[in-house]
Structure 1
Amino acid sequence: MSWLPIILASIHTGTREIAKRVQRGRKKSLNERFNVYKSKT
């Protein structure tokens, strides 16, 4: 059963990486939207 903490740790780091990517994507899309809005006006 010594592999259990390893799996849990890998899942934890995986979810953290996904969250980071999601946050980066959100920031990028917000900036893109803002640029589109600025270019329209």
Structure 2
Amino acid sequence: MLKNLCKNIPSCLVLSQQYFKDLIIICYINRQPHNHLNSNPLG
């Protein structure tokens, strides 16, 4: 669900919203296949 949400929200739009600060961090983690955190199930 989070991965789909991240894909639907433009990075520039998320960057301009402080409310999505945590969300964009999660999005960046999901977008990096070489990140060890990406191996953990997010639900």
Which structure: greater helix fraction? Answer: 1
Normalised to the residue count of structure 1, the TM-score between the two structures is 0.33
- Choose between structure 1 and 2 for higher RCO, CA contacts under 8 A separated by at least 6 residues: 2
Normalised to the residue count of structure 2, the TM-score between the two structures is 0.32
Which has the greater radius of gyration? 1
